[in-house]
Each structure stands twice: as C-alpha cells, then as structure tokens.
Amino acid sequence: MTWLFPMQAPAGTPATIFPVPHSDWFYRFTSNQQREKQGPYDLVLDGDSITDNWQPDDRGMPVWKQRWANIKVLDNAIGGDQVPHVLWRVQHGDLDGLNPKLIMLMIGTNDCGRDPKGIAQGIRKILDEYEKRTTAHILLLGVFPRDPKPSSTRDWIKNINALISTYSSDPRVTYMDIGDKFLQPDGTLNARDHARLPAPLDQGLRDLGRRDPAGDRPVLPRCWGEIGRGISDGINVIHGIRERR
Amino acid sequence: MPQVDLVFDGDSITDFWQGTGRDLFTKNYGPRNVVDFAIAGDRTQHVLWRLQHGELDTLHPKLIMLMIGTNNIGSDPVADIASAIEKIVATYREKTPDAHVLLLGVFPRGEKSDDPLRAQVKGINDILAANAWDDHVTFLNINDKLLQPDGTSTRDVLPDFVHPSAKGYQLWADAVQPVIDKYCRCQLPTRLIQTYGPRRQLRTKSPKLTPPSRP
C-alpha cells in the first residue's frame, strides 16, 4: 500500500494556503515515503528516538559510517514512537519497496509503564507485519536499560524483555538483549554515557561534536560504540550480510 | 453536540488562553460556551487543513475570534500570509454563514519598534486592514494596547515578546470585550459569574444554588 500524503505545496502554490496537518511526526513519515526506496536494502532500522539517532547527521553517524559504510542501510525510526506508532507506519507502507534482508527493531521504551503484556502483543504484531510484508530476517533488540540505578522503570523493561525474548522461537526472528553492555559491573548506568537515555542526551553524547585534542578524531561516546559493536557483531553472526570491502 | 457560541482559533498565542490565560478564559468565556481550537505552532496552512477536516462542521458559533500568521513570518512573503488569512476567513464565512468573525491583527513581535519582525507584522496587518471585509467580519488591531506609547514591548505584557503574560491576556480580553458582548452575549447573570466563577464549580462551592440550566 502506498501512503502518499502531500505535505508540501506544489510549485506555484503559496505554502500559506496549501492545507497540511500540523504534525511533525506525520511530516517525518511522509518524508520517509519520498526517500529513495529502491531495494534491496541490507538493513532497515526501526524503532524510536534511540534508533532515530542513528540517522545521517545525528549522533550515531560516526559509528554508522565506520561500520555500515559498505552496506545499504535505511533508518525508519521516528523519535518518540510507541509500539502502536510503529505498527501504524508499517501498515501504511513504511517498508514498501525496501525489500530488506534484515530489519533491526527496538521499541517499547516510550510505552514504559503500560501493561507489558499488551505492549509485548503489539511488538508481536509488528513482527507479524514485517514477516507478511518482507522476506527479511528480524533482529529484535531488548529495550535498553534506563535510569542510573535499578528502579521500577528497569523492572518494567525487564518484564517486557522477558516477554519478547520468547519471540525468538520464530525462525525468522532473532532476539538479542545487549542492554548489559551499557551497564557497569554493579548494574549502574554510566552517567556520562547513558544516564538520560532516551531523553535528551547528556554530556557523554554531546561530546560527539568535540575533537580529540591529540588525534583530531571525534570523541565518540562509548555507548554508541558499544551499540555499533554489539549490533554489527550480531548482524554478521546472524545473517549473511557481509560488509563489502 | 454541545452548544458552542464562541470559537477561538489561531496559534500558540490563542492556544495559551488555556494555559497562561486559563483563569480569565474560564471566567470570561466559559459561560459563553467557548471552545479554543488554536494549536501552538500553527501556520495558516494548518488552520486551513483543520477547517477542511471537520473542525467547524457540526458547530454553529455566534462569534469566531481568529489571530494567525505569526508562525509564517520568515518562511513566507507577507502578501501570501495575508491572502491565506483572507482565505481562512472566507472558509469561516462559507462553513458558518451566521457567525461573526473577529479577525485580530497579528500581535507585535520583538522588543523594539524598529525590530525587523515588526515590519513584517505591520505588512500583514496593513493588508488586512485595507481589505474590504463584508459586514460579518470585524478586523481589529489591538497592538497599541499591548505596547508602550513609543511602541516598545515590555516583559510584563509579552514576556518573550511573542506570547502574552496573564496581564497581557487581561489587556487582550478588555480590548475585544465590546465585540464579544455585541455578538456573543453572556448566558449567565454577570453577578453569578463574578461571584462563583464558571458554572462547573457552582455545585461544589455553593450547594444552595442550583446551577442555571444551559440553553
């Protein structure tokens, strides 16, 4: 299904009189529809702000460039998305024409606090839609930990991860929980790297813009390196995507 | 559908009647069966979209107060903004032929009277003021009420030089009161409103009084 909703005035019509809904989210969605959609893609990313921040020009970009320079990657994630939003996007053509080999999904952190069973069902439904609409293998990530210390939010995330980890019994789904890669041995989150994920990120991530005085390299926040390593190891192990060197 | 007599429409400046201006909004306009459709950040095209998608379709308001266009400044030429506002007013006229439209001039932007934004605002307002509106439309520019005599904007009225403070909303309410009284009469005796506030609170605050029935 193609979902084209004109969000920009055609040439010759002033933008002021071309009615459009006032929704940044919808604007993002429809802009995504107008991107290069010629598949096959090696990897399609989906999820919320955490995945959204991989986007070109965003903070995950250095790792993207380093790891995925030679494979065809597309990021469909939109910041703030909850499970039903992803489901809606997928049902309205987000994957049309992409023909991905692998879809990586992490979703649920914005649903925090709701009934985990319902959210897990929603995630299952997203997986079903992926399977129906593509031939891709699916890498389902456990929701990343939040809060510096164990908390009710962490417990909720544990619950949801326990529920969705069972989906790996589906041969087309691989579940990975790489959340512990962000944690200190004592279970705390390193404040510098991760403290306020997925809220506006703190100092560790703002360091991206700084330069390493010695090597003139961007100072990478460690957590993104970990994500990149975890995921690209996973990708290589799980699925036959070879980086084309 | 509940009876709606008074409609507010526009962008954040009108939207924040429900925030900064909330007390005054409930007190002044609650008894007039008001609904505020304004959405922060809206531009003219967003208002047009809302109107095209059912916003006024089941309503028969007596008065619609609109201020829009300030979010288009910087992106669109002044003439386009003004013609879009005219188009919105024309849409109101078409959808609710019995309603009167109170069209407000765009509020001043920037602190000093020589701020470049002021010229843009004035450009829009001049076009709107010169337009030949039909007698169902009142154009009102109340910017002089919000500014000092020399045209500077002060933080006690427009703290960020865009959005009114509570005092700013009071000035706004006072300036449009005659038009609102003329086209959208109050449904409650003034004494009750002033003493007990909006009708919703009557029951809890004054158990002896039965709330007047809604027409």
Token pair listed for B214: 């809604």
The length of chain B is 215
Q: Do B46 and A22 touch (CB under 8 A)?
A: yes
* A204 vs B21: CA distance, rounded Å: 39
- DSSP readout, B182-204? HHS--SS-HHHHHHH-SGGGHHH
Residue A213 has what pLDDT? 35
Q: Out of B42, B75, B83, name the one closest to residue A17 (CB).
A: B83
Q: How do the residues of chain B divide into helix, strand and coil, expressed in percent and rounded to 5?
A: 45, 10, 45
Q: Which residues contact A71 (CB under 8 A, 6 or more apart)?
A: A42, A43, A241, A243, A244
Tell me the one-letter amino acid at B104: L
Clarify whether B163 is annotated catalytic: yes
What pLDDT score was predicted for residue A195? Answer: 37
B42 and A CB contact within 8 Å: yes
Pairwise CA distance, residues A216 & A12, whole Å: 47
Task: Mention every residue, 6+ apart, whose C-beta is less than 8 A from residue A87.
Answer: A122, A125, A126, A129
Cβ-proximal residues to A173 (8 Å cutoff; 6+ apart), any chain: A127, A137, A138, A140, A167
CA B74 from centroid of its chain's CA atoms: 22
SS3 A238: helix
Helix (H, G, I), strand (E, B) or coil at B174: helix
Q: What is the model's pLDDT at position A140?
A: 95
Is ipTM beyond 0.90? Answer: no
A39 vs A97: CA distance, rounded Å: 6
Residue in A16, A19, A21 closest to B76 by CB:
A16
Report residues of chain A scoring pLDDT below 50. 1-3, 194-245
Q: What integer best gives the mean pLDDT of chain B?
A: 88
The predicted-structure confidence for B52-102, as pLDDT tens digits, reads as follows: 988 998 899 999 999 999 999 999 999 999 999 999 999 999 999 999 999
Cβ atoms A71, A14 nearer than 8 A: no
| pLDDT confidence bin for B214, thresholds 50/70/90 | low
pLDDT-derived band at B6 (thresholds 50, 70, 90) equals very high
Query: A91-105 burial, b for 16+ CB within 10 Å, e for fewer?
Result: bbbbbbebbbbbbbb
Structure tokens at B70: 């300030």
Choosing among A5, A13, A18, A22, which should be mutated to test the B contact, i.e. which has the most B CBs within 10 A? Answer: A22
Q: Is B161 left (phi over 0), alpha (psi -120 to 50) or beta?
A: left
Q: What is the pLDDT of residue A192?
A: 54
Catalytic residue among B114, B144, B160, B174: B160
Mean pLDDT (whole number) for B102-113: 96
Instruction: Identify the pLDDT of residue A244.
Output: 32
Residue B205 clears pLDDT 80, i.e. is over it: no
Mean pLDDT, residues B191-213 taken together: 47
Distance CA B18, CA B24 (A): 9
Q: Which residues contact A178 (CB under 8 A, 6 or more apart)?
A: A141, A142, A144, A226, A227, A230, A231, A234
CB atoms within 10 A of CB B184: 23
The answer to whether B39 and B10 have CB atoms below 8 angstroms apart is no
Q: Chain-centre distance of CA B162, in angstroms?
A: 15
Tokens 């909720």 belong to residue:
A156
Q: What is the pTM of this model?
A: 0.63
For residue B210, what pLDDT is reported? 54
Q: Residue A50's pLDDT is what? A: 87
DSSP per-residue string spanning B121-141: HHHHHHHHHHS---TTEEEE-
In this predicted structure, the answer to whether residue B36 has a pLDDT above a threshold of 90 is yes
Give the separation between CA B109 and CA B106, rounded to whole angstroms: 9
| Lowest-confidence region among A77-91, B124-138, B178-192 | B178-192
Asked if the model's pLDDT at residue B24 lies above 60, the reply is: yes
The one-letter amino acid code at B57 reads: D
pLDDT at B199 over 50: no
A15 touches chain B (CB under 8 A): yes
Question: What local confidence, expressed as pLDDT, does residue A193 receive?
Answer: 53
Greatest extent of chain B over all pairs of C-alpha atoms, in Å: 58
Q: What is the pLDDT of residues B150-178, one digit of tens each?
A: 999 999 999 999 999 999 999 999 999 99
- Among B5, B100, B153, B163, which one carries the catalytic annotation? B163
Q: What is the pLDDT of residue B215?
A: 53
Asked about B160 being catalytic, the answer comes back as yes
Across the range B93-115, mean pLDDT stands at 96
Separation between Cα atoms, residue B155 and residue B168, nearest integer Å: 10
pLDDT confidence of residue A215: 33
A17 to B52: CB separation less than 8 angstroms, yes or no: no
pLDDT given for residue A190 in this prediction: 62
pLDDT at B187: 59
* DSSP letters spanning A86-138: HHHHHHTTTTTTT--SEEEEE--GGGTTS-HHHHHHHHHHHHHHHHHH---EE
Residue B142 burial (C-beta neighbours within 10 Å; 0-12, 13-18, 19+): middle
